[in-house]
Amino acid sequence: MLDFVAGSDRAIVFAIYSSLIAGSMTVLLFLWVVILRSRLLVRQRRHKAFLDKWRPLLTQVALTEDQTGDDQDLVVPELPKSSLMYFLNEWNVLHDVLRGSAGLRLNTVARQLGVDTAVWKLLNHGRLSDKLIAIATLGHLVESSAWDRIEELLHSHHTLISLMAAKALINIDADRAVLLILPMVTRREDWAAARVSSLLREAGPAATSRPLQQAILDGTPEEAAKLIGFLPTVHRSIAAKVVHEVLQRTVDDRVTSVCLRVADSPLELPQVRHLVNHPRWHIRMRAASVLGRIGYRQDKRLLERLLCDPEWWVRYRAAQALTGLPFIEQKELDRIRQRLDDRYARDMMDQVMAERAA
Amino acid sequence: MTTQDLIFAAQWVFLGYFLLLNAGYIGLNLVSLFGMREYFQGRRIESLPKVYSEHEMPISIIVPAYNEAATIVTSVRALLQLRYPEYEILVVNDGSRDGTLQKLIEEFALVPFPEAYRQRIATQPVKTIYRSAIHPNIRVLDKDNGGKADSLNAGINAARYPLFCGVDADSVLQPDSLYRVLQPFLDDPDTVACGGTIRIANGCRVRDGFIEKIGLPDSTLALLQIMEYLRAFLFGRLGWSPLNALMIISGAFGLFRKEVVVACGGYRTDTLGEDMELVVRLHRMLRKQRRRYRITFVPDPICWTEAPEDLRTLGRQRIRWQRGLAESLTLNQSLMFNPRGGTVGWLAFPFIFLFEFLGPLLEVGGYLFVGIAYWNGWISPDAFLAFLLCAICLGMLLSTSALMLEEISFHVYPGFRNTMLLFGAAILENFGYRQLNSVWRLIGLLQWLVGSKSHWGEMNRGARWSSEDGVGDPATPTAGHSGSH
């Protein structure tokens, strides 16, 4: 047997120490897991007790119109400090699904419970999640005194904080908030289009229409391309006017493409008819869709031509547009299909006609 | 160099390797911990309604099906109940011989549909395309057999929507799975792919294709796999995701931007790990093109899958996975240490190459060395025990840290009893199971090395969710396409 070399003693010692450290850490982690689980069970019990008591109460407050109109008479039990976060979550969710006087009654309850002052502490000293809920609460409470502080947070580098601040500002004063938010939409790459769209919808067309129109018309092509996507959130007449103006003057393909996505006014027809010959396929595809929405009888020929386009999507949208035209009957569609020499165009018509039939 | 010197050096190599491996994973664990914290704080805002509206991109769900007659109808029915505004379901029948297509035709009133099918990615011939007369968003592609990757490619060709989601026919999804996995695409337009956490459905009660009650399985083997999945997903993937270095999105459920995948050539049909290979190739191609992109991961448990409960099936699965991993890495080896490789090329790829690809060789080698050295009296019993103890304790630490991550995040398994059982599994898996896994993976590596032909093995599936009470025949053999990493 070879003697155990002196050097490998060190390896054994190293292995044993590593084992001891790993073993101890395992035990500590396990204890932590047990503590976490115990705390979770306690939290779950507390949350259930809170919901049993407060959910019916808050729902009743929100949904029951006070006949006397005197909201000061609302009697609510005391809110323990430990239940503040549960209350804020429940209260904010209700606020987001309800509108009008229900929101006012919820605010009265919150003020009676002293939530309006408690959230300031969360806003200034809380963790990220506390801050988010505090911003949302101040917004729902329409707390004008919080405007400056929330405006500060609108410029936060943290995406969620800035978005939540934008939402709160809209709740407090939509007209004023939109003027602050719109210039940021083009600058903040971290603000997802879906979220901005939600914000603008929440602000409402009255607050959004004019500032958005101005921002699109005054903006660079990049800014316009980004902002045009939000036109469905504004008044239709204004959206149509903006699209018309931009389509007339733009030379940027991206801007044209986004405009076509939202265009639905017959004013655009001459321009759209011209765009079916565009070298870029996605513009031809969108032009075909627009013709399907607003086209006249004479546009059938253009759509028939697009059915023979080399790009699958252009053929598909052209076929959809053609079969969707309100003045075309099945017999005419059959005739068009018969007339087609191009096999791909015929296949596409077959597919879309079968889709329609289904 | 004397034998003693060799033994001395070997001891340090294996010990160093084990320590490095575990230190690496603990590091990933810490990244996951921060990632998870951020994610959960952000979820506070997500829990409020109306965060998204009307901007959800439509999704094509592609379900490759090969001899899935036992489960396919329930799976498609469950998919129909997903909460999402606009999606289509494309079942790709890959030349099944067990009446899968007939079941679908009868159940969903399928009729042949004259689709202008365009083959953007080459596949085996598509014979017929059907469309449901009851549910207009269901289409079935009946094609010649070509394997799972080929079926996915055919599905991509037929997909109408900009995002596609590959789903295994036996996957059980959460009703809000699509919403969850879509979020990174909404938040960052550069996102090209996103995966989610896969959990094990054994022990859960499944009704109408959805998880009704979460529980742990009676089978020890399935329980051990639950711990493995926790480790793999909660820090294996969540750790790499914030670094944009995620190298695998499970084929059981993953959402991809269709055009990017088409531009990359779709799934490779000559590999067993087509899910991992695609993601690694996406990294390689997009980095080469210097494109801004994100491949990301949401930790929510969005998909549940059945784990094998017998050693034979499990062994075959693990051998296949290891071969898939080896193929994925070697086919994209130019990513490693590539000047444009970024975190994935300089950190994730070498890490996975060293600890996942070479891992089984070094692990089995380490155990063998210690065993042989002890047997021959080259090392003392103290040394033998010390090395074994070290490997086992480090393994336990890793598993327990995964359990801790689960506890601070989703704590999916309710009650103290389940926590105790999982901790038991975290300890137990280090006594034989992990070593057995290393042996299977070594076999996979050797099979890849000698280049034996790739093929999908049979999967013994209980098809439990096809029965009303969630308790089916525990060993209904089907030969599905599933079995993703």
Residue boundaries of the structural domains of chain A: 85-172, 194-262, 265-358
* Minimal Cβ distance to B404: which of A29, A192, A355: A29
Put simply, the answer to whether A8 touches B379 (Cβ < 8 Å) is: yes
Q: Does A310 touch chain B (CB under 8 A)?
A: no
Contacts of B76 (CB under 8 A, 6+ apart): B63, B89, B91, B104, B107, B108, B138
Q: With beta carbons under 8 A apart, name residues in chain B contacting A17.
A: none
Name residues whose C-beta falls within 8 Å of residue B476's C-beta, 6 or more positions apart in sequence: B70, B460, B461, B462, B463
Q: B311-331 and B274-288 helices cross at what angle (nearest 10)?
A: 20
- The per-residue pLDDT for B51 is 45
pLDDT band at B459, cuts 50/70/90? very low
**Nearest one of B227, B403, B362 to A25, comparing CA atoms:** B403
B385-424 burial code (b ≥16 CB/10 A, e <16): bbbbbbbbbbbbbbbbbbbbbbbbbbbbbeeeebbebbbe
CB–CB contact B114 A315 (8 Å): no
What domains can be seen in chain B, in order of their start residue? 18-51+170-357+468-478 (3.90.550)
Mean pLDDT within B33-38: 81
pTM (2 decimals)? 0.84
- Which tokens is B410 given? 């989703």
Nearest CA in chain B to A164: B45
- Nearest CB neighbour to B55, from listed A30, A41, A197: A197
Predicted pLDDT at A100: 77
Residue A114: closest CA among A143, A79, A69: A79
Does the model's ipTM exceed the 0.85 cut?
A: no
Work out the number of other CB atoms within 10 angstroms of the CB of residue B300.
19
User: Is A42 in CB contact (< 8 Å) with chain B?
Assistant: no
Which of B54, B136, B390 has its CB closest to that of A15? B390
pLDDT per residue over B143-178, tens digit each?
999 999 999 999 999 999 999 999 998 888 888 899
Q: How far is B421 from chain A (nearest CA, A)?
A: 12
Q: How far apart are CA B289 and CA B284, in angstroms?
A: 9
**Integer Cα distance of A268 and A290 in angstroms:** 9
> Across the interface, which of A96, A128, A358 has its CB nearest the CB of B131?
A358
Task: Kindly list the distances between the CA atom of residue B479 and the CA atoms of A58, A141, B65, B99, B169, in Å, as whole numbers in the listed order.
Answer: 54, 59, 10, 13, 11
Q: Which of A1, A9, A12, A35 is the best residue to mutate to test the B interface, defined by the most B CB atoms within 10 Å of its own CB?
A: A12
Mind listing the pLDDT tens digit for each residue in B423-444? Answer: 999 999 999 999 999 999 999 9
Give A226-229's long-range contacts (Cβ < 8 A, gap of 24+). A226/A185, A226/A186, A226/A193, A227/A182, A227/A185, A227/A186, A228/A255, A228/A258, A228/A259, A228/A261, A228/A262, A229/A193, A229/A197, A229/A258, A229/A261, A229/A262
Report the gap between the CA of B446 and the closest CA in chain A (Å): 30
Q: pLDDT (tens digit, 0 to 9) for every residue of chain A, 358 residues total? A: 344 444 457 888 888 999 999 999 999 999 999 999 999 999 999 999 999 999 988 888 887 765 454 555 567 888 888 899 999 999 998 888 887 788 888 998 999 999 988 999 999 887 888 888 999 999 999 999 999 999 999 999 888 889 999 999 999 999 999 999 999 999 998 888 888 988 999 999 999 999 999 999 999 988 999 999 899 888 888 999 999 999 988 888 999 999 998 898 888 999 999 999 999 999 999 999 999 999 999 999 999 999 999 999 999 999 999 999 989 888 999 999 998 889 999 999 999 998 888 7
Distance CA A52, CA B46 (A): 24
Give the best residue of B5, B11, B129, B235 to mutate against chain A (max A CB count within 10 A): B11
The confidence score (pLDDT) of residue A70 equals 52
- B136 contacts A129? CB cut-off 8 A: no
Residue of B nearest to A12 (CA): B383
CA angle B419, B421, B426 (to 5 degrees): 95
For the record, the structure tokens of A15 come out as 């292995």
Phi first, then psi: give them for residue B401, nearest 5 degrees.
-70, -30
Instruction: Name the residue in chain A with its Cα closest to that of B162.
Output: A313
Q: What's the CA gap between A15 and B481, in Å, rounded?
A: 43
Q: Do B186 and A33 touch (CB under 8 A)?
A: no
CB-count exposure of residue A61 (10 Å: 0-12, 13-18, 19+):
buried
CA-nearest residue to B394 within chain A is: A22
Cβ–Cβ below 8 Å for A129 and B41? yes
Which numeric CATH code is attached to A265-358? 1.25.10.10
Q: What distance in Å separates the CA atoms of residue B98 and residue B102, rounded to the nearest whole number?
A: 9
